[in-house]
Structure 1
Amino acid sequence: MQLWIGLCLYRLPLEVFCPSWSAASCTAVLEQDGVLAMSRAAHAAGVRVGMRRGGALLMAPDIQLHERSVQREADALQAAALALLRYTPQVALAEEGVLLLDIGASLRLFGGIRNLCRLAAASVRALGFTAALSCAPTAQGAWLLARSRSGRSLTMQSLTRRLARLPAWLPPPARPFRTWLEGIGCQTVGELRRLPRPGLQRRCGRALLDVLDAAYGEAPEMHAWLEPPPEFKAGLELFDRIEHAEALLHGAQRLVQQMTGWLTVHHYAVERICLLLDHERGRTACPPTAIDIVLAEAVWRGDHLLRLLKERLARTELPAPVIGLRLEAVQVQAMTPLTASLFPEPGGTSQDRERLFELLVARLGADNVLRAAPQADYRPDQANAWQPVQHKLRPQDQRLPPHSLPRPVWLLPKPVALIMRDNRPFYMSPLRLVSGAERIEAGWWNAIQVRDYFIAEGSDHAHYWIFLERSGDGGEPRWYLHGLFG
């Protein structure tokens, strides 16, 4: 099924140059000293499109004026297109701030056209933009419907009816001839299409006929698809000095949206990201604050990354106000899709547990969330090691030397010397040996240890792991408590 989504970012100037604008703020964007776009408050104060700077200040003395930058608008369109790549790899930048998405192959994956449109609109809103969304069986038809905010058409019959009601000068090649079209009484695209083609071509050129033919599906359409960069590095310039780290989450969300689209189109999953907080430049310049997040398991969706960033930002103290953000995908790997098990594991999947660990690390710090990292050493106090949960264990690190007796789960950080009563080791009660000896003689390269380990039982039937240390200088052997059994 051939189907297109058209997204027209029709308030792009205001949202690019003043992202904190609202309908209640008096804001306008200037181009060549004339008003290009304005907020509702500025329009209510008497500011109009085309008004000069002096006239706008006269009508609204407290108005905020911003100069238009074509490069900034192009960067904003590129950012929106990059975020929308998560829904289809075929995204094209069209004229006048319109993005075209070929979604014919994505309908089943995202649950149908309604759900896909809802997701695409939500992604654009998350970037801070306002868009008019349309659907049509042709790309040019989707462009015309998006520019006129004329809704969605899923069939050619419905599209033909909607296009026939659009203004005749809506296609860009027809705009220079608007006065002539009004003079002959041609008001709609339907009436324009009924005009004689040879005469219309001589008067308006071949480009207008090509646009009409493409919109009605009577001519092939060619597009230059968006080529994502090989590496992801995106930045965002803030329009105010931010002094609290938690206030940066909205800007970080915009960058994560772009990274999610980049990961999807490359079939990557990210293992490590770095958010750089840029501070003031000039005499008071200081290096950027880096928030480095290492994931235990690679992900390609943004909701989990946003939770981690929220926790880290809440714990970050800014040395200076922040004026910009930069996000980098430092380490990526090939995406591995999730596999559904016929019999789900109790307590959640391994992915759920890894995400919980990552959230705890972001909230408590890497040094406070540890996992067991056994070492291949015969000495129990050396074999029992811990490391941050973010560090991955190598298979060779998990192999322990063979031993005959069971080992306790709880190993004391330092052996406790035991006293002797009636020639028996004593720990809250006399201990009775219930196993044979396991001799461990190792460590000749730094500190040799000769120990005989036993399992002992107290009068309360608790089991302990004790050892008899034999010194090589002929001294008296001593008993120590080294572990407790559950």
Structure 2
Amino acid sequence: MHWIALQWSLEAQAEAGAATAAAADAMPTPEALGWWALRYTPHVCWLDEALMLEVSACERLWGGRSSLMRQLLNENPVPAAAVLRGAQGATSLEALARLRLFVREEKRPPEIPAGLPLDTLSAAREHLDALARLGCRSWGEVAALPRGGLSRRFGAELRAALDIAWGLRPESHAWLTLPDVFEQKLELPALAETAPELMWSANRLLSALQIWLRARQRGARALELEWTLDLKRFNGVNLPPTQQIAVRTAEPTQDLAHLRRLLSEKLALATLAAPASWLKLRSLETDPWAGASTSFLPEDNRKGDKLHEMVERLSVRLGAMQVLVPRARADHRVEHTQAWQPALRTVQPDQPASSKARRETQAAAFQPDAIYPPWLLPQPLLLEMDGERPCYGGPLSKLIGPQRIEAGWWGGKEDGGQPAMRDYYVAESPEAGLLWIFRERPSARFSAGEVRWYLQGFYA
């Protein structure tokens, strides 16, 4: 058996209080630190103040004990302001005792475990005064006492701990496991009266979420932050026990900075019904994580935020209906081929598109002879006439056309209104450049009237 004891300390830095406070702000929860250690060995547990790793069965996979210790110290999941200390031993009690000596900057005794100071054994701490009066100040001196008298006077726990230290009794621990769904709850250090105040503690939960996502090899798609209200009634109004907000992303992500920005923007728009005392973060949807994809071309590896990340932040900040994206529709009437919807969809991201939606998109996209401009007006604009020539920034010159369209005769008002019988042209304006215009063609069933021209879109 071989054990490694790890401990994180925020007080070891002699820097200003701001550095320590920033480290505590992003300090993962103890459960998350255990999840991080599970990547090195399946045998991980908390023992008093230290995280214990039993690595005898897997240390060779990491290149030996020294190589494994270096990796643990180099891949510290806690910010740089928190120092990670480690010690090793044949048993968990020995590794923990040596870690405590290292923290106190004391030299290890020549004999292990007999020479270890008695105050480094957790089971002996409540009996230190009595054992000192007996002249016992080390593990070996206590172990030399008669077994029966030691157990009767100081309890069976101390004798059992000494047996474990000398390998006379097997160790038993409750090993940590990785949950299938992330859900972490945290008590706030003080009552939060505004939603942005929750972000300080939410950072710890986000750090734990990132560790869980990496351990599970998943990417977050939807999260829910919930806070518990400290009051049940305020100003004569009954309050719900909790409030919550949900955050969604267009693509699976493990980026802690992006999730923090999204959550911060969402909290800035929230209002607390009463002061909050607890905070809980849970994962609603996750996808398998494929990892980052890079390119050999320098222009494909630009620094900065991705487009979908910027769209998500703007949608949260300005409102979902203020950031829209086009959606293709199957209709030969040009003003009906495109619909606008919020960039942050309200439907479940994992929900597959319906067969009708797929047919509409494919039908709208498959038009081999289409010469549609990149920018279409929501509604056609009636053009002024100069004699028989339409005008827009001057008289227009027709370059390409006509492209005849007759559609909409099969539907009524609920299907988009009147039928469309049109001749489309690509025209050039002296001031606006290339335009897409059309003229209405009267039905053969009615007498011909005045010809009207409309602007449908812009090419430049």
TM range (shorter): 0.7 to 0.9
Q: Which moved more, 1:88-97 or 1:436-445?
A: 88-97
Provide the residue aligned with 1:463 in structure 2: 434
User: Are positions 1:479 and 2:435 aligned together?
Assistant: no
The 2-side partners of 1:427 and 1:113 are apart by 74
Q: Is the 8 A contact 2:131 2:137 kept in 1?
A: yes
Shift of 1:2: 6.8
Q: In structure 2, list runs of 5 or more residues that go unmatched.
A: 12-19, 21-26, 152-158
Deviation, 1:171, is 2.2
Q: What is the rounded CA distance, in whole Å, between the counterparts of 1:406 and 1:162 in structure 2?
A: 84
Alignment match, 2:24: none
Pick one of 328, 339, 353 that aligns with 2:293.
Answer: 339
Change (3 A) 1:175 1:432: closer
1:320 to 255, 274, 286: 274
Q: Does 1:286 align with 2:236?
A: no
Letter in 1 for 2:253: V
Aligned equivalents of 1:291, 1:417: Cα separation in 2: 45
Q: Secondary structure at the match of 2:32?
A: helix
Alignment correspondent of 1:445: 411
Query: Is 1:144–2:135 an aligned residue pair?
Result: no
CA displacement at 1:410 relative to structure 2: 1.7
Distance 1:405 1:208, change over 3 A: closer
Name the counterpart of 2:87: 135
1:121–1:131: 8 Å Cα contact kept in structure 2? no
Q: Shift of residue 464 of structure 1?
A: 0.6
Find the counterpart in structure 2 of residue 99 from structure 1.
Answer: 51
Q: CA 1:208 to 1:321, structure 2 compared with 1: closer, same or farther past 3 Å? A: closer
Tell me how far apart the structure 1 counterparts of residues 63 and 406 of structure 2 sit (CA, whole Å). 66
The C-alpha deviation readout for 1:227-262, integer Å capped at 9, x for no partner, is: 233333332333543222211111211222333333
- After superposition, the Cα gap between the structure-2 partners of 1:354 and 1:200, relative to the gap in structure 1 and judged at 3 Å, is farther
Residue 236 (str. 1) matches residue 162 (str. 2) = no
Per mean C-alpha deviation after superposition, the further-off stretch among 384-393 and 354-363 is: 384-393
Aligned residues: 406
SS at match of 1:453: strand
Cα distance between partner residues in 1 of 2:323 and 2:111 = 62
Question: Secondary structure at 1:390's aligned position in 2?
Answer: coil
Q: Indicate the SS of the match to 1:311.
A: helix
**Structure-2 residue corresponding to 1:260:** 210
- What is the CA–CA distance in structure 2 between the aligned matches of 1:379 and 1:151, rounded to whole Å? 80
Distance 1:408 1:161 in 2: 84
What is the CA-CA distance between 1:353 and the residue it aligns to?
2.5
Partner of 1:85: helix, strand, or coil?
A: helix
Letter in 1 for 2:453: W
Deviation at 1:343, TM superposition (A): 2.9
Contact 2:295 2:301 in 1 (8 A): no
The answer on 1:6 being equivalent to 2:2 is no
What's the CA shift string for 1:387-412, capped at 9, x where partnerless?
Answer: 22223695836432414142111212
What's the offset of the Cα at 1:478?
1.6
Seen in structure 2, the aligned counterparts of structure 1 residues 349 and 124 have a Cα distance that, compared at 3 Å, is closer
Confirm or deny: 8 A CA contact 1:270 1:300 kept in the other structure: yes
Q: Does 2:362 match 1:410?
A: no
CA, structure 1 residues 181+83, in 2 after alignment: closer, same or farther (shift >3 Å)? Answer: closer
Q: What is the CA-CA distance between 1:176 and the residue it aligns to? A: 7.1
Supply the RMSD in Å over aligned alpha carbons.
4.2
Percent identity over paired residues: 27
Kept after mapping to 2: 8 A contact 1:234/1:327: yes
Letter in 2 for 1:378: H
- Structure 1, unmatched stretches of 5+, are 12-22, 24-76
CA contact (8 A) 1:410 1:485 kept: yes
Q: Which amino acid aligns with 2:88?
A: A
Q: Indicate how the Cα distance of structure 1 residues 440 and 192 shifts in structure 2: closer, same or farther if over 3 A, else same.
A: farther
Deviations for 1:137-188, whole angstroms, at most 9, x for unmatched residues?
65624322344453899xxx98978967641342245557756864675544
User: Partner of 1:377 in structure 2?
Assistant: 331
The CA deviation string for residues 322-346 of structure 1, in whole angstroms up to 9 with x for no partner, is 2332222111222222233333553
CA contact (8 A) 1:173 1:204 kept: no
The aligned residue for residue 17 of structure 2 is none
**Aligned equivalents of 1:247, 1:86: Cα separation in 2:** 28
